[in-house]
Amino acid sequence: MQERRKEERKQLMAYTQVFDLYGGFLLGYLGDLTLQGAMVIGEKEIAVDTEITLAIELPELKDITATRITIPVRVVWVQQDISPEFFNIGFEFLEVPPEKSSIFQSIIDTYEFRRGSSSYTIKPM
């Protein structure tokens, strides 16, 4: 699959639940996030070009009291995860007002997995 993203993915360390707002069911967990979209790891495949509204349960964030954010999205890709019982689902945000953009930036700043961190360095055997 050709990489067309304009912004580097930010893998997250928080297990954040993501729901289909109007369907009312758990889609999966937020795997990575940018200001233009997100990847969710879930148990069910969703057809490309499907438009839905996500409800993302927010992890604890400094100076943010909201516990959930909703955002309209379009499925842009789906692929099977390394674990065959899961799917990685790429969503493109359709509308990102400034207040939602600042919440997403706060999630990225707070929960991004930093590969250079000494506590996560793997030493060769």
Q: What is the mean pLDDT of residues 69-96?
A: 95
**Confidence (pTM):** 0.77
- Is residue 5's pLDDT more than 50? no
Per the DSSP assignment, residues forming a β-bridge with 72 are 53
In this predicted model, which residue has the larger pLDDT, 95 or 121? 95
Per the DSSP assignment, residues forming a β-bridge with 88 are 41, 79
The pLDDT score that the predictor gives to residue 119 is 34
CATH topology of domain 10-120: Thrombin, subunit H (2.40.10)
- Is residue 97's pLDDT more than 90? yes
Q: What is the mean pLDDT of residues 3-17?
A: 56
Report how far residue 50's alpha carbon sits from residue 21's, in angstroms, rounded to the nearest whole number.
Answer: 14
Q: What is the mean pLDDT of residues 73-82?
A: 95
Domain segments of the chain as ranges: 10-120
